[in-house]
Structure 1
């Protein structure tokens, strides 16, 4: 056998081309379809970003209105799915429940096997809307409440918060959540996106691809990191304990969750934006203790980790924003999925239209060969 270099974790391996996003990890820059993330977060909306990623361009005004109406029309869940959500065991992690519910949507869709571009696009629109409804309904059910039916007259962000809390959010709350959705919408060939494409490359239906992506996102080394950050804040307990907590973690060579990223060797631009909004939440809504704990962790850990190119990532400050919006810690990762579904779908559409080649990497065999088989009774 020829000896080939192994790319551990597939690091540095390029298997396709994309126009969806570009990350300059050294400079700490992120672009969606050529547009800087800072401009999109401040000036755009999640619906406009979704259109951009799915269509490859920014919409005209009438196109955006039509797209919003299309999303709003797909928000309702089949009754059988709502009933299933109510029947799931209460100890089930919300990501496991979301994974199962999306799989169920696939079983109910008579057009699930349609892999045409138009078919995939239409199902993508439905999934963007319905994943949000699933997560909101799950949160209500966990609280012993009835799910709130979606409204067609609200934005994607406002409708989600309405379904979560049972009341229409303020403009400020809507903007906070919309920014969070935009920042999490897409991020290159991450683990869950790669998983979605690996499944799609087999010509499986899009529900299978998205179900697999949700499974990948669930892990604490990917989407679950935002939950872990807030668990750390709870563990620290008070700002004055943050420095000692960090020093103890570093002395034990343990990870500081929310610090570091495989791609970025500079500050994650999404973390910079979310930090600003977390500060607003802290000053206006009484989240000062959580915010101060995070800033002290960042400062103390930065003394050691900063010179190594390890800085806060998007997960570090997102929890403060989510908590302020009435979202429990165990639902932070499902919120990630609510946003990232558009990135997953956009990559599936792009790959389907271009490469559409079965993904089949190799592994170097290091075991023995030509072993003699010993019958069971002689072992």
Structure 2
């Protein structure tokens, strides 16, 4: 029957998970029962990784051991770095370079022969992948600038260390906390396209390198991971124009342009993650340049207030504020989606391991709509 078909699997229940839950009408997101607001404001990214992978928040001893183990895995093999250098010199896009690098990481995996059903070995693999992705991305950006990579600092947390490796300068407290929050906010979000892709790969009992590489591939598509870059490009276009942001948006929408960062497949109200990043954007503005915060808030007030988009279920999503926040942190625009992957890798790994605990190969069906009784004609008669 025609109504059995749900394009894009919209609303189709395919799994049960204890990892994250989204209430799109209330604008609520939880990780393992904890409100995203509490985690973003009170925990570190490492604590959230531990929560997603182990099922509970760590105590001080568990966190210290986990953080130390993560930091010890940050270094990347020289051969892989040379590959990253080659990709940067060739002008490869950051997401494509990351996809290649993560796949190549498996070549130096010390437990490559461990069975995918070995949970402890898989957790160690996940730890290595998540620890090394920031090193790969920072090195790629340094190579593009004609500079050498900065070695990771084991005394810095994952977020602060990435900014340090990217710029060569240790970030201040506000920048480090802001980026750490951004990583927490992007760590997991239900069965989005990239998470589902990773889970499908994991359901074949492939290893985590294959699953994470697949997740990166799915996230690289413009319908999934590129919205924050689109937002920043629009903000820069507005800034370079002579128009007030309200006038620019009105003119753009009259011309049929869509303003990126508004609307979400799941949320009908303002994304709770957007609220948190808006706060950080304001704090960054107080310590530096304020125009990006002013432009974004003006656009939000215009579209949600004067234009009433919220009544239509269209509200700011996380990308609307993450773009300007990353820009204020000095992160190149085309690195925004790779940073998304850097954070979401933790969620991909959690979902793969959770699903593999009670695994069943994911194998949906398609309704055939082609011809049914074509007569075969031999080659010489066609």
| TM-score category, normalised to shorter length | over 0.9
How many angstroms does 1:243 deviate by?
2.2
How many angstroms does 1:4 deviate by?
5.4
Which residue number corresponds to residue 42 of structure 1? Answer: 41
Output the CA distance in 2 between the equivalents of 1:260 and 1:280.
25
SS in 2 for 1:240: coil
Is 1:338 the equivalent of 2:316?
A: no
Output the CA distance in 2 between the equivalents of 1:53 and 1:69.
18
Output the CA distance in 2 between the equivalents of 1:229 and 1:255.
11
Which residue number corresponds to residue 135 of structure 2? Answer: 133
Q: Which runs of 4+ in 1 moved over 6 A?
A: none
Output the CA distance in 2 between the equivalents of 1:112 and 1:13.
35
How many angstroms does 1:151 deviate by?
1.2
Q: What are the residue-to-residue correspondences of 1:74-113 with 2, within 5 Å?
A: 74-88=73-87, 89-113=89-113
Q: 341, 357, 380: which is aligned to 1:353?
A: 357
**CA 1:208–1:170 in structure 2 vs 1: closer, same or farther (change >3 Å)?**
same
Q: What are the residue-to-residue correspondences of 1:171-250 with 2, within 5 Å?
A: 171-237=173-239, 238=241, 240-250=243-253
Output the CA distance in 1 between the equivalents of 2:79 and 2:343.
24
Structure 2, unmatched stretches of 5+, are: none
Q: 279, 283, 290: which is aligned to 1:276?
A: 279
Aligned 8 A contact 1:271 1:316 in 2: yes
Which residue number corresponds to residue 307 of structure 1? Answer: 311
How many angstroms does 1:239 deviate by?
7.9
Q: What are the residue-to-residue correspondences of 1:284-303 with 2, within 5 Å?
A: 284-286=287-289, 288-302=290-304, 303=307
Give per-residue Cα distances to partners, 1:255-275, cap 9 Å, x unaligned: 221111101011100000001
TM-score normalized with structure 1 length: 0.95
State the number of aligned residues. Answer: 376
Output the CA distance in 2 between the equivalents of 1:160 and 1:313.
25
Aligned 8 A contact 2:201 2:210 in 1: yes
Aligned 8 A contact 2:205 2:356 in 1: no
Aligned 8 A contact 1:71 1:125 in 2: yes
Output the CA distance in 2 between the equivalents of 1:249 and 1:93.
29
How many angstroms does 1:251 deviate by?
2.9
TM-score normalized with structure 2 length: 0.95
SS in 1 for 2:4: coil
SS in 2 for 1:210: helix
Q: CA RMSD in A?
A: 1.5
SS in 2 for 1:349: helix
Aligned 8 A contact 1:220 1:228 in 2: no
